[in-house]
């Protein structure tokens, strides 16, 4: 939003006219100008301005603060207060309605333009944060819907497996196995009804046939040869056989998957072999379904694990193992509590109790421990696998790694913190710039008005001129500091080296400050210390940017005087080979350790405390840091509260 539609609420005609002219000059639109709170409320009910410039001290029933409180009941419009007062209690009351800022009368165009621009940026940031929040909400909703669908599909798959298990159980519980008996020559002498159903032969047709009729000679697979060899071993060695799976041949020539076991028995002193055969067609089918389920589970993009009621992991897919930094073989057979964080309220026992009590359990966030002992946030769901009697047998866990979601949440909080810090910086900057600009402006305007009144002797006029000049120079210094910071942050300044005498340079800086009337009344002694090089006139030659080096010393010495009321300020350097270490040392108030880094930030002093005991924007040390950065150097500070501070930086020749 580059152009604002603005409502002006001001009962002073001159000020409202000036505001209109300023706003028109900035390209903004003035929707209306009203002199009272009552008219402002009526205007807002019918219109929606982007910004309201509200005088706090309105004449009438309602003042500016009360008017804003009523407007905020129906509309959330940014408010910029106008006031000629700086009463703390009044400003605290105004702060309660959350304005975007304050403008002190008389209002200057640059102040108005700055705060409106900052309001625009705040609205833009708030809008971007709101859009980002909605985007994240949509992502979370979409992912939750997808997860619910996956969970439902998972439950359906588990239900199908349970149905298959029940079907298999019914077959094995109620169906008779095929029982066949043959003699040592393989001649069949017993054949039950289940065998007839399985192979399609009637008892009359199969009795006295050789057992090998049940295995097609055309099927010379490894399984066929294994079955024939098993039969021969039982006949020859009169031993029990293990269960073996192979394909038998139906009377119609089709193949039948069977499981077969044999044992030799002696009947009427003749050796016979009892063969128990089970049709495993359904088992094969179920195994294929289980393999398909495992294949699907292994390629799923969510973790799946199944444990018994004691927590032992009996199955897990690759994704579940990957989430925790293991491979599947490492976790299979381990207890689920291996993955639980030590201080997590959701250990396996707790989750099992909740799952059984609620027939399933859905978590919001559970912290698990990975193989490398780092933690990972996991969103877990459980389902209970039961037997035919509805007794719990296993607990199935499905989970996803929500690290990315947590990162989104962290980024949102970070963005919120940045916005809040930006808002605090804005308030601190406005407070500081208001104080620092009004102080010299008041002096300039005041002395100029006194001179305009006339009746002054030449000595008073000279003094007033000096005060006006000093305030003007102070004001120029403030503007230059702001411009310097802007140029330095954009790195628009060029670094130009020249060779010059360092000792002469240091003496000129020392002389400039000794002669300065600005510090003449301070009880602080300025001391210069430089290296002596045994009379060598070229020993102090340095290749550096003299202007920027002078700028650095000026800011550091000015800062030392500002925070020193007595003692001395020492400036100088020490040379080690081709390295020059410069320093400025004072015996002032010192700096608390936790604030040592703050002082090098833009407006650091203002951010630290709005009720400052010392003048300045808090830009001096920031400018020093930027200048030294351009020169390839860094500044460091040693300080003790009550004893003073020493600032160091080095330059390589």
> What total of structural domains would you count in the chain?
5
Claim to verify: residue 250 and residue 393 sit in the same structural domain: no
Q: Of 21-25, 506-510, 603-607, which range is least confident?
A: 603-607
> DSSP per residue over 26-43, as a string?
HT-EEEEEESSHHHHHHH
Q: Is 535 exposed, middle or buried (0-12, 13-18, 19+ CB in 10 A)?
A: exposed
Claim to verify: residue 425 and residue 391 sit in the same structural domain: no
Cβ neighbours of residue 571 closer than 8 Å, sequence gap 6 or more:
506, 509, 510, 526, 527, 528, 529, 553, 556, 557, 582, 583, 584, 585
What separation in angstroms does the CA of 87 have from each of 90, 91, 120, 448? 5, 6, 27, 27
Q: Which range is most confident: 6-15, 95-104, 259-268?
A: 6-15
Q: Is residue 128 part of a domain?
A: no
CATH number of the domain to which 427 belongs = 1.10.287.130
What mean pLDDT is predicted for residues 138-151? 76
Query: Is 585's pLDDT higher than 90?
Result: yes
Band of residue 169 on the pLDDT scale cut at 50, 70, 90? very low
**What pLDDT is attached to residue 242?**
65
Query: Is 126's pLDDT higher than 90?
Result: no
Claim to verify: residue 534 and residue 420 sit in the same structural domain: no
**What pLDDT is attached to residue 171?**
40
The residue out of 401, 418, 450 marking a domain boundary is: 401
Q: Is residue 143 part of a domain?
A: no
Claim to verify: residue 224 and residue 94 sit in the same structural domain: no
The residue out of 401, 428, 456 marking a domain boundary is: 401
Q: Which is more confidently placed, 244 or 73?
A: 73
CATH number of the domain to which 193 belongs = 3.30.450.20
Band of residue 582 on the pLDDT scale cut at 50, 70, 90? very high
585 — phi, psi (to 5°)? -120, 135
Q: Which is more confidently placed, 330 or 141?
A: 330
- Check: CB of residue 49 under 8 Å from CB of residue 6: yes
**What pLDDT is attached to residue 485?**
61
- Can you read off the two tokens belonging to residue 301? 């993009």
Q: Is residue 155 part of a domain?
A: no
Q: Of 249-263, 448-462, 528-542, which range is least confident?
A: 528-542
The residue out of 108, 126, 150 marking a domain boundary is: 108
What mean pLDDT is predicted for residues 274-282? 85
Q: Is residue 120 part of a domain?
A: no
Claim to verify: residue 242 and residue 319 sit in the same structural domain: no
State the Cα–Cα distance between residues 527 and 543, nearest whole angstrom: 25
Q: What is the mean pLDDT of the chain?
A: 79
Q: Is residue 124 part of a domain?
A: no
**What pLDDT is attached to residue 173?**
35
Q: For the segment 529-543, what is each residue's pLDDT rounded down to a tens digit?
A: 887 654 455 668 888
* Parallel, antiparallel or unpaired: strands 644-652 and 579-586: antiparallel
Q: Is residue 610 part of a domain?
A: yes
Band of residue 519 on the pLDDT scale cut at 50, 70, 90? confident
State the Cα–Cα distance between residues 193 and 626, nearest whole angstrom: 99
Claim to verify: residue 395 and residue 423 sit in the same structural domain: no
Query: Is 649's pLDDT higher than 50?
Result: yes
Q: Which range is most confident: 6-15, 262-271, 336-345?
A: 6-15
State the Cα–Cα distance between residues 534 and 540, nearest whole angstrom: 11
What mean pLDDT is predicted for residues 481-488? 61
Its domain, for residue 54, covers 5-108
Claim to verify: residue 369 and residue 504 sit in the same structural domain: no
**What pLDDT is attached to residue 273?**
85
Band of residue 56 on the pLDDT scale cut at 50, 70, 90? confident
**What pLDDT is attached to residue 622?**
78
**What pLDDT is attached to residue 145?**
77
What mean pLDDT is predicted for residues 557-581? 88
Band of residue 220 on the pLDDT scale cut at 50, 70, 90? low
- Check: CB of residue 50 under 8 Å from CB of residue 30: no
Q: Is residue 164 part of a domain?
A: no
Claim to verify: residue 369 and residue 418 sit in the same structural domain: no
Q: Which is more confidently placed, 555 or 238?
A: 555
State the Cα–Cα distance between residues 393 and 435, nearest whole angstrom: 76
Q: Give percent of the chain above pLDDT 70.
A: 81
Q: Shortest CA distance to 157 belongs to which of 235, 165, 49?
A: 165
Band of residue 223 on the pLDDT scale cut at 50, 70, 90? low
Band of residue 175 on the pLDDT scale cut at 50, 70, 90? very low
What mean pLDDT is predicted for residues 112-134? 79
Claim to verify: residue 358 and residue 337 sit in the same structural domain: yes
Q: For the segment 59-96, what is each residue's pLDDT rounded down to a tens digit?
A: 778 888 888 888 888 888 888 888 877 677 777 888 88
Claim to verify: residue 265 and residue 194 sit in the same structural domain: yes
Cβ neighbours of residue 210 closer than 8 Å, sequence gap 6 or more:
182, 185, 186, 187, 188
Query: Is 583's pLDDT higher than 90?
Result: yes
Predicted structure pTM score: 0.35
Claim to verify: residue 336 and residue 307 sit in the same structural domain: yes
What mean pLDDT is predicted for residues 320-342? 86
Q: Which is more confidently placed, 651 or 139?
A: 651
Claim to verify: residue 413 and residue 396 sit in the same structural domain: no
Q: Is residue 169 part of a domain?
A: no
Band of residue 631 on the pLDDT scale cut at 50, 70, 90? confident
């Amino acid at each position: 939003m580059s152009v604002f539609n603005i409502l002006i609420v001001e009962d002073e005609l001159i000020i409202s006219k000036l505001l209109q002219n300023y706003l028109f000059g900035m390209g903004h639109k003035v929707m209306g100008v009203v002199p009272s709170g009552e008219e402002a409320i009526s205007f807002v009910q019918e219109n929606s301005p982007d910004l309201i410039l509200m005088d706090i001290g309105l004449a009438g029933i309602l003042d500016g603060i009360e008017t804003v409180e009523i407007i905020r009941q129906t509309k959330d419009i940014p408010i910029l207060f106008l006031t000629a007062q700086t009463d703390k209690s009044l400003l605290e009351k105004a702060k309660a309605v959350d304005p975007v800022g304050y403008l002190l009368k008389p209002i200057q165009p640059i102040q108005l333009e700055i705060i409106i621009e900052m309001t625009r940026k705040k609205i833009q940031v708030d809008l971007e944060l709101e859009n980002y929040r909605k985007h994240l909400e949509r992502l979370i909703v979409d992912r939750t819907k997808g997860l619910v669908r996956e969970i439902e599909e998972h439950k359906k798959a588990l239900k199908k497996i349970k149905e298959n298990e029940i079907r298999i159980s019914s077959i094995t519980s109620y169906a008779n196995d095929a029982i066949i008996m043959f003699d040592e020559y393989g001649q069949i002498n017993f054949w039950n009804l289940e065998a007839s159903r399985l192979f399609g032969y009637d008892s009359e047709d199969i009795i006295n046939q050789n057992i090998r009729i049940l295995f097609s000679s055309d099927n010379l697979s490894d399984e066929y040869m294994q079955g024939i060899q098993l039969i021969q071993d039982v006949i020859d060695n009169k031993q029990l056989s293990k269960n073996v799976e192979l394909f038998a041949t139906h009377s119609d020539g089709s193949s039948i998957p069977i499981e077969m076991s044999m044992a030799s028995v002696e009947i009427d002193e003749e050796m016979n072999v009892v063969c128990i055969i089970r049709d495993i067609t359904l088992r094969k089918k179920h195994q294929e379904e289980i393999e398909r389920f495992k294949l699907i589970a292994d390629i799923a993009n969510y973790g799946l694990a199944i444990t018994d009621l004691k927590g032992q992991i009996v199955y897990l897919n690759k994704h579940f193992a990957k989430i925790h930094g293991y491979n599947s073989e490492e976790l299979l057979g381990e207890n689920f509590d291996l993955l639980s964080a030590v201080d997590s309220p959701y250990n396996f026992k707790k989750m099992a109790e909740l799952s059984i009590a609620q027939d399933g359990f859905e978590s919001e966030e559970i912290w698990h421990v990975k193989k490398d002992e780092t933690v990972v946030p996991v969103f877990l769901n459980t389902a209970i696998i039961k037997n035919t009697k509805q007794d719990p047998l296993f607990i199935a866990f499905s989970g996803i790694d929500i690290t990315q979601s947590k990162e989104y949440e962290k980024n949102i909080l970070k963005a919120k913190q940045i916005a809040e810090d930006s808002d605090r910086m804005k308030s601190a900057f406005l407070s500081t710039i208001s104080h620092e600009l009004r102080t010299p402006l008041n002096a300039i305007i005041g002395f100029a008005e006194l001179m305009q009144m006339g009746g002054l002797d030449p000595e008073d006029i000279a003094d007033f001129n000096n005060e006006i000049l000093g305030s003007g120079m102070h004001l120029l210094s403030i503007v230059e500091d702001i411009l310097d910071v802007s140029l330095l942050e954009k790195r628009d300044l060029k670094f130009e080296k020249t060779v010059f005498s360092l000792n002469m340079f240091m003496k000129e800086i020392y002389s400039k400050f000794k002669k300065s009337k600005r510090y003449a009344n301070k009880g602080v002694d300025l001391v210069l210390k430089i290296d002596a090089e045994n009379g060598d006139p070229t020993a102090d030659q340095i290749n550096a940017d003299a202007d920027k080096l002078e700028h650095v010393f000026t800011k550091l010495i000015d800062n030392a005087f500002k925070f020193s009321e007595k003692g001395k300020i020492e400036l100088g350097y020490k040379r080690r080979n081709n390295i020059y270490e410069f320093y400025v040392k004072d015996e002032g108030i010192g700096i608390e350790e936790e604030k040592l880094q703050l002082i090098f930030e833009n407006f650091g002093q203002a951010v630290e405390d709005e009720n400052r005991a010392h003048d300045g924007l808090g830009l001096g040390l920031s400018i020093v840091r930027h200048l030294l950065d351009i020169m390839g150097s860094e500044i460091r500070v040693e300080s003790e509260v009550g004893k003073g501070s020493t600032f160091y930086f080095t330059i390589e020749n």
